[in-house]
Amino acid sequence: MKKIEHIGIAVKNLESANATYAALLGKKHYKTEKVESEGVNTSFFLVGESKIELLAATIPESPIASFIEKRGEGIHHIAFQVEDIQKEITRLKKEGFHVLNEIPKIGADNKLVAFLHPKSAHGVLIELCQEIII
């Protein structure tokens, strides 16, 4: 794993969360992106070499909607940047981690992503992400 790529935070309202985090970090988000497949709207802030990803549900069936319903707003996942996502998936499976999607999918911010079940990592949903080079 190379670094913490971003920390994902589940929020109820993206506009008001954008304003809060802009005030906190002293800068605006640099982009917003809708991830249709996950039913989320996201926005990104750059903080040094890592990012903050705010996630708001766009549909009631969104995993972010059910997360907020169960646990309220807050940290949803930690994303680690990896060099070779397929290799990491194979390695982590051997280590006994529960990989939620063994075939990486296309996530926000031009990344290939895979998730590890929170039960595998003491209650934290882990995202692996690999930059897609275009």
Q: Contact residues for Zn ion (CB under 5 A)?
A: 8, 53, 79, 127
At its nearest, how many Å lie between Zn ion and the CB of residue 127? 5
Query: Residue 6 in contact with residue 16, Cβ under 8 Å?
Result: no
Residue nearest to Zn ion (CB): 8
Residue closer to Zn ion, measured from CB, 53 or 88: 53
> For residues 102 and 112, which CB has a smaller minimum distance to Zn ion in the complex?
112
User: What is the secondary structure of 41-91 as a DSSP string?
Assistant: EEEEEEETTEEEEEEEESSTTSHHHHHHHHH-SEEEEEEEE-S-HHHHHHH
Based on CB atoms, which residue is closest to Zn ion, 96 or 123?
123
